[in-house]
Chains A and B, each alone.
Chain A
Amino acid sequence: KQEVTQIPAALSVPEGENLVLNCSFTDSAIYNLQWFRQDPGKGLTSLLLIQSSQREQTSGRLNASLDKSSGRSTLYIAASQPGDSATYLCAVKGDFGNEKLTFGTGTRLTIIP
């Protein structure tokens, strides 16, 4: 059974700093890994999707890496801004096209102005 863990559960950093969020998963037989952002009272917004054959994906100030063999992914946020404050969740999709995503419990990020 796949388990996804995100540590820390909460993180506060001053505006302008670079930061890294961590995600680990127990079963390396994944199809892809996705990072989402959730704002209070809102749904999830997809940020980046890394296919199992890829090592990283970049979008603007965000960079996600994937080390499938060790069961780890990181989300790097450069030059953080107050608008980056949200909960960040990672989710893995099982191999062989399994439609089911297994989510981590998220990291609540606060950027201090």
Chain B
Amino acid sequence: EAGVVQSPRYKIIEKKQPVAFWCNPISGHNTLYWYRQNLGQGPELLIRYENEEAVDDSQLPKDRFSAERLKGVDSTLKIQPAELGDSAVYLCASREDSYNEQFFGPGTRLTVL
């Protein structure tokens, strides 16, 4: 069974440019998470979806970050405009309803110049 798929794996952009990350969770996983992992730190939650509903977006910087999961399957996280401090690895994870384990994708490493 395929794991969580993320693309692109790497992205380099100049500051003030927009960027988008895509995540396809494990089939049948209704809960989807976006995390940001700064260098030398553990992941921090940005947003959690239950199907197509964002049920926890309290940590999402809404002035420049947005996310969507229109059909309750794959999801897109967008930053517009990007700032130097947004350089990080953006991880997507998904979870099946009856289990506690979150399965993480490989992440997208963003570098903002």
Q: Do A and B come together as binding partners?
A: no
Residues of A within 8 A of B (CB): none
Spell out B's residues near A (CB within 8 Å). Answer: none
